[in-house]
Chain A
């Protein structure tokens, strides 16, 4: 289909779940109620690193109203093995250990035990009566600290791996890998300008407003029923079954509405614990995290230590680039350093590259994905150095990027060549935007730009579509709707069927009621589940053509569908008219789509940021902000713009405010939304958006994943703007007033 032929794709229908969301009728996990419901509470470690000598739950169990207490000892005994929880293989003991600690606690907030009681207050009081005897151990809180010889070791069995080779060295470095291309020494030898800088970024949280929650019922028939807030119901099913050592068919997960996730609601924390409590009590058990629990007990994104070196010729061509990325995994291996390494120079066509990545465990919560995981850290470093090189060469920063921009056929340092991409088009759109040449209008003001990249993945998705007699259809899907995907998926079915988006009724269902569907993450849902809906709609069309052919006594091959009208010769029938005749022509029509699609289309994003820096206090005010992104084909432009604005605001939070402020004992001292400062509407100007459309040839409608690339460039752009406003190159995030004043004073000295 050509773009101009679309009637639904590219329009802006009202979201199907809008009324329930704005009237408060939408049901979230914490709203869940059931007869006999008990309330759970988790006891968490007060220490960042300690050996658990003994846990005594007897006093808690004796408290009136308490129905059960569980610890890691309540997991069924099974031999240690590697398990694939959809997140790559990991030792079962690590997967269980982050849900309920066994032997050691590895971060403050680490779950140790859980109580089920008749009220949440009784459960909380009882948790306080659990006695834990700790042997407190020294903690390590940053990657450089954890990598030092003699550093406190988190896991006695963790040995550094180097691309499949077990080094045998017990260490906090879980893995070291390297991407290399060309001849790095020759590349730097050709350079006439070189810049090498070190950077540090803080641990930050996704900041979803709805805390984690889960209700579980271990039913009398042995089935485990779960209702929760998750980005992937099948992922919860599989992980819960694995940790409890039951077949996946014994677990049914119903995803409730979700109040934000950004990658942080892929891991499983509460569901297996609620299930264990339910097994002991025979009652459903609900657990809801507090905000403090969310900060201290769920997965933020890695803090990082990075070095970036780039060399270029005077004509503006980059000759070589090198990066050293050490990311904090938190308590268990799995920092997002590999995608960071893939993205650090992804926007550029560079012949000679070396990138070293280190996955380092530290005494902080085990990290989780966060919108373009790993890429934002890396882009802050790379885009700061790129900006400095452009300045040294006296080349406009966007012209410098254009000169070196990745294109179709450019090989990334991790190996693959790009297919059709929109990096150049994004930079050109930035350059052509009036914002780029508008006067700044005052002193202490500066403008910065940056660009960034994030992938788009396929993974399995399933849909069914059933046709109703009134000509509407019911679309059943398994993708949790976080950013309006009910509508963006329904629109793709509507486009195929030739009916309005409003005539498609999408429903997100439980894991018993739809085929396997991977998580809402990786910018995949509109792409992949949309593709499943496209296939299901094609299946409906095929069956409907057969019904029309039956009525018209002709061959199905002679029947065409054009904008909701079936026709064969001079005979015509609308989709609605035919839908009313299904009973007489053979019964219901149900279409199915099950895909694991290829043809993914990564997305480039760029932003222009104007800031004002108060030279007395270091406070940064964002004056104007424009986000530009290649959407391939924007299925629902409003939701693409919403993603761009949301990602930009989160990136601004990374840049200016957000951090886990840790004391020396490894305790987060700002674990509330009052002290962990995320930007609000009052802090920001309107975020302007420009959608660039370079269609992805791998998708039926040309869609690319758009959920994540937009968070990648803001910290770099803001750092570059701060430099032009205040004359200091920032090398750490967040760039809060103390950091900026320190940089200004250091320069004065």
Chain B
């Protein structure tokens, strides 16, 4: 059975034993993060603040930054990336909003 592939940001790879990508279960971004936390404790806190994506982080599913954030559906063949969010007016250039 295939699972969503999560690409771990370089600066978080110390939490995943140096792995740059991992496969975890999850039907939404939130579930993916919850399952990441199970396997590698501490990673959720680096990605979320008070249940929301941190202001400096965006999530892209299958190559596109999602406007739905944590509730974005994820399929077993999906790629999930956490990338630096764009602040300032350029946010309009990258379409991030946080849920």
Q: Which residues of A contact B (CB under 8 A)?
A: 82, 84, 86-90, 161-165, 175, 177-180, 232, 263-264, 266-267, 299, 329, 333-336, 338-339, 341-342, 354, 357, 359, 367-369, 372-374, 414-419, 454-455, 457-460, 518-519, 521-524, 596, 598-600, 708
Contact = CB atoms under 8 A, between A and B. Distances in A.
B19 interface: no
B47 interface: yes
A596 B67 contact: yes
A416 B65 CA distance: 9
A661 B11 CA distance: 37
Contact of B81 (A86, A341, A416, A457): A416
Contacts of A518: 92
A163 B15 CA distance: 12
Given A334-B88, A416-B63, A416-B64, A373 B11 contact: no
Interface residues of B, number: 38
Given A82-B55, A89-B98, A598-B64, A163 B93 contact: no
Contact of B57 (A163, A232, A708): A163
Interface in B80-95: 81, 83-95
Given A164-B57, A369-B90, A417-B63, A522 B12 contact: no
A600 B63 CA distance: 10
Interface of B: 7, 9-12, 20, 45-47, 49, 54-57, 60, 62-65, 67, 79, 81, 83-98
B81 A178 contact: no
19 contacts: A87-B89, A88-B55, A88-B56, A88-B88, A90-B55, A163-B12, A164-B46, A165-B46, A177-B84, A264-B89, A299-B88, A339-B90, A373-B88, A415-B60, A458-B95, A460-B67, A522-B92, A524-B95, A596-B67
Contacts of B65: 457
Tell me the interface secondary structure of chain B in the complex: mixed
B47 A164 contact: yes
Contact of A519 (B46, B92, B98): B92
A519 B92 CA distance: 7
A367 B55 contact: no
Contacts of B92: 86-87, 232, 263, 266, 369, 457, 459, 518-519, 521-522, 524
Nearest to B47: A164
Instruction: Please provide the 9 A-B residue pairs with the shortest distance between their CB atoms, ordered closest to farther.
Output: A369-B89, A89-B55, A415-B81, A334-B88, A457-B95, A416-B63, A521-B92, A164-B46, A163-B11
Nearest to A519: B92
A467 to B, nearest CB: 31
A339 B46 CA distance: 21
Nearest to B7: A415
B88 A459 contact: no
Nearest to A341: B84
Contacts of B88: 87-88, 299, 329, 334-336, 367-369, 373
Contact of A368 (B57, B63, B89, B96): B89
Given A87-B87, A163-B84, A415-B81, A455 B94 contact: yes
Contact of A417 (B10, B67, B79, B86): B79
A182 to B, nearest CB: 9
Contacts of B83: 179, 338, 342, 414-415
Contact of A522 (B11, B63, B84, B93): B93
Contact of A88 (B20, B62, B96): B96
A338 B64 contact: no
A519 B91 CA distance: 10
A88 B87 contact: yes
A339 B85 CA distance: 9
Given A88-B56, A415-B60, A179 B10 contact: yes
B77 to A, nearest CB: 12
Contacts of B93: 339, 369, 372-373, 454-455, 457, 521-523, 708
Nearest to B12: A163
A229 B94 CA distance: 23
A120 B53 CA distance: 46
Nearest to A267: B89
A703 B57 CA distance: 28
Contacts of A341: 84
Contacts of B87: 87-88, 90, 333-334, 338, 359
A521 B94 CA distance: 10
Contacts of B62: 416
A318 to B, nearest CB: 20
Nearest to A262: B89
A536 B25 CA distance: 38
B91 A600 contact: no
A336 B84 CA distance: 11
A89 B91 CA distance: 11
Contacts of A524: 92, 95
A522 B94 contact: yes
B14 to A, nearest CB: 10
Contacts of B10: 163, 178-180, 354
A338 B86 contact: yes
Contact of B56 (A161, A374, A459): A161
A454 B84 CA distance: 16
B92 to A, nearest CB: 4
B11 A458 contact: no
Nearest to A460: B67
A458 B65 CA distance: 10
A523 B93 CA distance: 7
A419 B20 CA distance: 22
A163 B90 contact: no
Contacts of B96: 88
Contact of B95 (A89, A232, A459): A459
